[in-house]
C-alpha cells in the first residue's frame, strides 16, 4: 500500500465530473494493481460551474470547463485531469496532451418531459443552451420555443420540474454514470445525431511527462480514442465554437470508421449532412469532410464557422 499518492487526479466538483473521476481512478488502480489511495482526487471549481445563468458562448466558451484544471496541470499541482471530451476545446495548449480515452459510453441524448420529439406539445418551451440540440429540434419542430437552461444534471431536472420548460435534453452517458438510467427517453443516435465526442471521458497530462503518459497508456481504449480523434479533427476542420451547431456520429467497421456529420443554421431551418468512411488513423479524411460540409452550406451556415471551406 503506497504511503503517498502516485497520481494526483484533478477534476471538477460537479457530481458527474466526480463520478467520471472515480471511474478513471478505478481503471488506473485495476490496471496497475494499486490500492485506491494511490490516486488522490483533487477537486477544482471550474468557471463554468460558477456561472450558470448565461450561455457558454457569451462568457468564454468551452474554456470555462478546462481553464482552472489546465492551469493546475501546467503548474504541477495535479498530474492528470479528467474531462468530458465534448466539453474540451478543439485546440489544446501544447503543454497538455490527451493521453487516454476511456471506453466510450452510450452516445445518445435522452429527452425528458415528453415521450418523443413528435410528442412534445405544440408551441411548448424546450430548455437547452446547446446550439446543436436547439438547431436539431427546430429543424424538425419549428413550432417549439427554445429557452436557455444550464446547470448540472440535478439542476436541470429541478428546473424542468419547476416548470421553466416543458422538456429538455440530457446525455444518456451522464445519466447512466449517475445511476439515473431510467430517466428520460433515449433518442436513437442514427436519427438524432449526438455532439462530437459525446459520452467519452478523456484524461490529460503534461505533454513532457513520459512517466505519467506510460501509466495512462494502460487504460487508453484504442477504438474510442480513434473515434474521438476523428470527431475532434472534424471540429478542427469546421472551426466551430460554442455557437456552431454541429452533430456527429462515428461507427466502426473493422479498421474503418464511418463518420456522419451535420451542421445547421442557428434557427435550424438549414441542415447540411455529409459522411465519409476512412481507415482508422487517417487524419485528413475528417478535414476533407469538414471542407465538404462547408462547401455545401449556404452563407447563413458558413458564417457560424471559421473552417477550411
Q: Which of 70, 87, 106, 220 is catalytic?
A: 87
| Three-state secondary-structure class, residue 180 | coil
CB 16 within 8 A of CB 178: yes
Please check whether residue 272 is in contact with residue 304, taking contact to mean a CB–CB distance below 8 angstroms. no
Angle subtended by helix axes 222-238 and 284-296, to nearest 10: 40
- Contact present, 308 and 284 (Cβ < 8 Å): no
301 contact partners, CB below 8 Å, separation of at least 6: 263, 264, 265, 270, 272
CB–CB of 268/134 below 8 Å? yes
E strand residue ranges, the chain: 7-12, 39-44, 80-84, 96-101, 109-112, 125-127, 145-147, 167-171, 185-187, 201-206, 246-253, 256-264, 271-279
Residue 97 C-alpha cell reads as 496532451
Q: DSSP 3-state assignment of 95?
A: coil
> What is the distance between the alpha carbons of residues 256 and 268, in angstroms, rounded to a whole number?
31
253 in catalytic set = no
Q: Hey, which residues are catalytic here? A: 87
Amino acid at each position: 500500500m503506497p504511503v503517498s499518492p502516485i497520481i494526483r487526479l484533478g477534476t471538477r466538483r460537479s457530481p458527474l465530473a466526480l463520478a467520471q473521476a472515480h471511474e478513471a481512478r478505478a481503471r488506473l488502480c485495476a490496471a496497475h494493481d494499486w490500492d485506491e489511495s494511490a490516486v488522490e482526487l483533487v477537486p477544482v471549481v471550474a468557471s463554468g460551474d460558477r456561472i450558470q445563468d448565461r450561455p457558454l458562448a457569451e462568457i468564454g466558451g468551452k474554456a470555462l470547463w478546462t481553464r482552472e484544471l489546465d492551469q493546475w496541470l501546467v503548474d504541477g499541482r495535479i498530474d492528470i485531469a479528467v474531462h468530458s471530451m465534448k466539453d474540451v476545446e478543439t485546440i489544446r495548449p501544447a503543454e497538455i496532451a490527451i493521453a487516454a480515452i476511456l471506453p466510450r459510453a452510450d452516445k445518445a441524448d435522452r429527452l425528458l418531459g415528453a415521450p418523443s420529439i413528435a410528442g412534445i406539445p405544440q408551441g411548448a418551451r424546450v430548455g437547452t443552451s446547446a446550439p446543436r440540440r436547439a438547431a436539431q429540434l427546430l429543424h424538425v419542430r419549428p413550432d417549439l420555443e427554445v429557452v436557455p437552461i444550464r446547470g448540472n444534471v440535478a439542476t436541470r431536472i429541478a428546473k424542468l420540474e419547476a416548470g421553466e420548460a416543458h422538456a429538455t435534453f440530457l446525455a444518456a452517458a451522464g445519466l447512466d454514470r449517475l445511476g439515473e438510467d431510467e430517466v428520460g427517453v433515449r433518442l436513437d443516435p442514427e436519427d438524432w445525431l449526438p455532439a462530437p465526442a459525446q459520452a467519452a471521458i478523456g484524461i490529460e497530462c503534461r505533454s513532457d511527462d513520459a512517466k505519467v503518459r506510460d501509466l495512462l497508456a494502460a487504460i487508453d481504449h484504442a477504438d474510442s480514442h480513434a473515434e474521438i480523434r476523428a470527431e475532434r479533427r472534424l471540429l478542427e476542420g469546421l472551426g466551430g465554437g460554442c455557437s456552431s451547431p454541429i452533430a456527429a456520429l462515428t461507427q466502426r467497421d473493422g479498421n474503418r470508421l464511418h463518420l456522419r456529420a451535420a451542421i445547421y443554421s442557428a434557427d435550424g431551418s438549414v441542415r447540411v449532412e455529409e459522411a465519409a468512411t476512412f481507415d482508422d488513423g487517417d487524419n485528413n479524411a475528417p478535414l476533407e469532410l469538414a471542407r465538404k460540409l462547408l462547401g455545401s452550406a449556404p452563407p447563413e451556415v458558413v458564417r457560424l464557422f471559421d473552417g477550411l471551406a
